[in-house]
Structure 1
Amino acid sequence: MRFDDYELLVTLDKEKTLRQAAEKLYISQPAVSQRLKTIENYWGVQIFIRTKKELIKTSAGEKIIEHAKQIVETEGLLKENILINKNQVEGKLTIGVASLLGYLIMPDLLRKFLKEYPNVNVQLEVGSSSKIIENVDRYHLAIIRGNKILNLENELLFTDEHYLVAPKNRNLEDEPLIEFQADPWYINQMKQFFETRFNEPYNPQLYVDQIITCRELLLKGVGMTVLPSVITDTMDLTQFHTEKVEVDNIPLLRSTYVSYDNQMLELPQVKTFLKLLEDEYK
């Protein structure tokens, strides 16, 4: 049954006649009579006994109308609650974020956001940018490194320069080279830089799956690698040898984007978190 069928039963019970119910609902009396017959056929019982004076509920009708009253009341309360909270920042927010950003920028962002909007339930998924892009339909917002996502809005948050970082006062040629997992274009840029800088084949001795692990190895005095400024900004570089990375005299840059479907901005929690990102990084 439709909601307006339940509403019709409640109105008939209150007004007691087909005519008064029709006037209340701004429809014709024959239409009310026909709809009542359809409802009774649905339940398989007579709901009202029609008399010349008024409608009288049957015993089955009393139960059905009580059920109808509960549905009408519940929906009315729900509509009122939705209207009151129409612009409230609440509900679920799903974010897919590249691993590096999940470690470095999301903790502070979420601390600020949840302090201001405690009624939002955040679901955060951290992974490689390629994984986030592959599963982008699962998120309200995707924060990725490298390339934009096709068919979505892509806002540039920031762009990193890159630096060769190694322990200070050591012979760089003797330091083991650390390579972290990244897309082929990025690895090729590092390869070109190292081969030009050291005039020998690119030959990493350490392989790690996360760029953040490179930082931890460097802090322990192990190896050398290339790091983006989003990482080097978290380090005391006075303790390290650093060089800006260029390939063919062009600085190596890496962009970070927040990507989303425009329709997601109709959700207050999405729009508000996006505004926080923009305020922090644009």
Structure 2
Amino acid sequence: MKLEDYELLIHLSTIGTVRGTAKHLYVSQPAITQRLRYIETHFQHPIFVRTSKKLLLTPVGEQVVKHAKEVVERENGLHAHLQSLGDQVSGTLSIGASSVVSQQFLPSLLETYTSLYPDVKIDLVTGLSEDLRNPDQNFHVRLIRGKPMKDGESLHLLSDPLYLYDTKPFSSEKERPLIAFKSDSTFHHLVDEWFLTQSAFKPNKSIQVDQIETCKQFMMKGLGMAVLPKSVASEELHQYPHLPLTLNDQPLTRETWLCFQKNARDLPQVDRFIQLVQEATFM
């Protein structure tokens, strides 16, 4: 068994489908299926039960995947230890970053970081903060929105005020479509809570988009209202009618955090990145 085989089993158990795993690893579905068949032959037991919706671990599969996680963890621990022995800042920096952070702040951060430490390989995954919290994903650092991680250390980076934008004055029409973008439950809870306190608004959640930038573009074309954080729509404050979201006279904000395990700073490449983020100006 190769280390890649154990990593494949972990991906399959986490993602739950061959198709999703193939997309994540940028390989073909037949290649995944063939490798899984070899692994199951090696262990002489089926590891997954195939259903119409997802892969389910068999009792033997649960034991094998548990073993796979231990093997991968030991391997990563060995590499991390060997990297920490040298003075040169090299190795891999694994980052999980929310889409908003990736669009607004991460490009300039990584530009500076890679110019300072060209021997470090960047392993970056972007997406919803809710997905990036998955403990099965072994990121060195996470740049996430909403609430900090429950375990490890968290550094607060930004309180991002929320605004309601529209192309029409808010007093002209009580009922308007609300353009909603895909985000985690904490954000949607904040928005819903605010609208419950606003009798003047009757949002019709008829437009759902996947990306926050798409949401902003739809709003700018007059298709409806949108709740957007200031970090992605600061220029629009001077161009469109807007209202700050407040509850009990306090602004509603979207928090941004840098999260990592305490011992992660023993790795020079991780420690340098955390230092750089701490020195950066957000907003």
Same fold (TM over 0.5): yes
- Cα deviation code 1:96-140 (max 9, x no counterpart): 011221122111111111122211110100111111001464111
Aligned partner of residue 111 in structure 1, secondary structure:
helix
Equivalent residues of 2:96, 2:124 under 8 A apart: yes
Aligned partner of residue 183 in structure 2, secondary structure:
coil
Aligned partner of residue 139 in structure 1, secondary structure:
coil
- Cα deviation code 1:246-265 (max 9, x no counterpart): 12433212211111011111
Distance 1:151 1:185, change over 3 A: closer
Cα distance in 1 for partners of 2:201, 2:245 equals 17
Q: 1:1-282 counterparts in 2 under 5 A?
A: 86-135=86-135, 137-168=137-168, 171-173=172-174, 175-199=176-200, 201-233=202-234, 235-281=235-281
Q: Which amino acid aligns with 1:263?
A: N
1:179 Cα deviation (Å)?
1.4
Higher Rg: 1
Cα distance in 2 for partners of 1:106, 1:136 equals 23
Equivalent residues of 1:158, 1:281 under 8 A apart: no
Structure 2, unaligned runs of 5 or more:
1-81
Q: Which amino acid aligns with 1:184?
A: S
1:156 Cα deviation (Å)?
0.4
Give the length in aligned residue pairs.
Answer: 199
Q: Which amino acid aligns with 2:225?
A: M
1:193 Cα deviation (Å)?
2.1
Equivalent residues of 1:181, 1:208 under 8 A apart: yes
Q: TM-score by structure 1 length?
A: 0.64
RMSD over aligned Cα atoms: 2.4
Equivalent residues of 1:164, 1:225 under 8 A apart: yes
Cα distance in 1 for partners of 2:184, 2:247 equals 17
Fraction of identical pairs, as percent: 30
Equivalent residues of 2:161, 2:254 under 8 A apart: yes
Q: TM-score by structure 2 length?
A: 0.64
Structure 1, unaligned runs of 5 or more:
1-81
Q: Which amino acid aligns with 1:207?
A: Q
Question: Which structure dedicates a bigger proportion of its chain to helix?
Answer: 1
Q: Which moved further from structure 2: 140-149 or 222-231? A: 222-231
Cα distance in 2 for partners of 1:174, 1:155 equals 40
Equivalent residues of 1:189, 1:247 under 8 A apart: no
1:206 Cα deviation (Å)?
0.8
- Cα deviation code 1:59-117 (max 9, x no counterpart): xxxxxxxxxxxxxxxxxxxxxxx89x922221111100112211221111111111222
1:221 Cα deviation (Å)?
3.5
Cα distance in 2 for partners of 1:185, 1:96 equals 19
Aligned partner of residue 102 in structure 1, secondary structure:
helix
Q: Which amino acid aligns with 2:209?
A: V
Q: Which amino acid aligns with 1:228?
A: P
